[in-house]
Chains A and B, each alone.
Chain A
Amino acid sequence: MAKPKVPGLFKGLGVTFGTLMRTATEGSNTIQYPHEKETPPVRARGVIALHEGNCTSCMLCARSCPDWCIYIEGHKELAPPRRAGGSPRKVNKLDRFDIDYALCMYCGICVEVCPFDALFWSPEYEYSEPRIADLLHDKSKLGEWMETVPEAPELEAGADKKGKK
């Protein structure tokens, strides 16, 4: 036998009252933010961290950024040769690497495009500032975010190992 049909009006009242009782007995879906904090998912896009040693100032990230919020300056330096008697190597030295989080739209293209694994997503999200200029994170500040970057997840079985064979 079919269930007796409840008019939609009363069904609607039932939904709101049910939610009321559930919130009263089991608690709400929200949390009281400054007092308790939600842990974001591990791969959440909170802030972009920079591993300075990997960066070759190739400018790929700066050019692919839709908002033009990455500023890179660098110069070439001579480094000692790899083998004795060789000519000195030329390396790119990073002078400036800034990300303006007032402009960033968290698309993650820079992280995707980086060929040397210098940029990482970190789930950290509490870096609001009273002054908008302070949202421009420089090289050292972006480097500090590296500590909050979670370990990369295990590769799937049979996946090609990245990097040197």
Chain B
Amino acid sequence: MNAAVLSADLAYWAQSLLRVLGGLVAVLLPAGTIVYLFLFKMMSFMQSRLGPMEAGPYGSMQLFAEVGKWLQKEDIYPARADKFLFKIAPLIVLASTFLLVAVVPFGPDAWFTDFEAGVFYMLAVSSVSVLGILIAGWSSANKYSLLGGLRAAGQLIAYELPMVLAVVGVVIQAGTMNMQGIVVAQNAGSMFGWDGLGNPYVLTQFVGFVIFMIAVQAELTQTPFDMPIAESELVSGYMTEYSGFRFLIFFIGEFATAGVFSMIASVLFLGGWAVPFSWFGWTNLNDIDNWMNVAGPLILFTKMVVLSFIIMWVRFSFPRFREDQLQRFAWKVLIPVSLVNIMLTAIFKVAF
């Protein structure tokens, strides 16, 4: 790995500042895009209506209006709530998102940390949000919140497993846990000697990709898996008592995590920020021209939009699972299938 060109000549504090700013952009920009493009517009169009149209051209400023509204609201907490836990719960959820984005590579030199065990770290950190949700459900002193929090904990832990197992196939095939290494392995690779497309793992690990996306859907508590916030049963689940700024943090956390998980999925399965190296005659990471540091984030962003389109599309199309159906699906379908997938991947890895 070569040193980060963009920040190599900068002092440590300047590098840190750049990373914080970059992290903010990398978390908030996908969240804003997903909320406006998909939650506001695509959902409306799928229901044959136009969605917000008044704030800005085609309602594009609606999100700012909403944020302004939330910021003005009173910061209410229930009288019998555990105030300290109640206040930090949304921050834990959001912190998990920020920690996740730290290992995503955006370009040959554009990354926040170059972490050898990146995949392992990503899977570990993504389950921190369970703590935040469980704390939110418990500290609200509300039956609905508690039920929602417990449902969320059960669901998130159940779907953590297929997610881990689905990623194992990719790790076996790439031979590395470094996210940057996985990107390079996909784009420097070839399929049966033809390297025009590299070797995106969505082709060889298609089962893993599908399982990963289903698990992501469940991790994000998006609709087919939204028992934790089932509004017809639990008011709003663990978010019931939250309002104003704290609800906004939960809201940003939900959609920013959708964006970050889409980015991770595109890194693991769709080739990440890179184009197939054979297009420009590159062979490894050091050959890559500097302009990829600008183009890379854009390519990754495009792939992120496509994947979150699928997540949101599924969300707007399907009704909610029942709690037992959800658990049965995770333990009896996804986990056995991903175990078989790992076994087959390992056999092929050894055979070829």
**Residues of A with Cβ closer than 8 Å to B?**
9, 12-13, 15-17, 19-20, 22-24, 28-30, 32
Contact = CB atoms under 8 A, between A and B. Distances in A.
Contacts of B45: 19-20, 23-24, 28
Contacts of B314: 13
Contact of A12 (B49, B50, B318): B318
Majority SS of interface residues in chain B? helix
Contacts, number: 40
Contacts of B316: 16
B47 interface: yes
Contact of A9 (B42, B47, B318): B318
A9 B317 CA distance: 9
Contacts of A22: 48
Contacts of A17: 46, 313
Nearest to B53: A32
A43 to B, nearest CB: 26
Given A12-B318, A13-B313, A30 B50 contact: yes
B41 to A, nearest CB: 10
Interface of B: 42, 44-50, 53, 313-314, 316-318
Nearest to A22: B48
B317 A30 contact: no
Contacts of A19: 45-48
B317 A12 contact: yes
Contacts of B50: 23, 28, 30, 32
14 contacts: A9-B318, A13-B313, A16-B46, A17-B46, A19-B48, A20-B42, A20-B45, A20-B46, A23-B44, A23-B50, A28-B44, A30-B49, A30-B50, A32-B50
A13 B49 contact: no
A9 B224 CA distance: 11
A32 to B, nearest CB: 6
Contacts of B53: 32
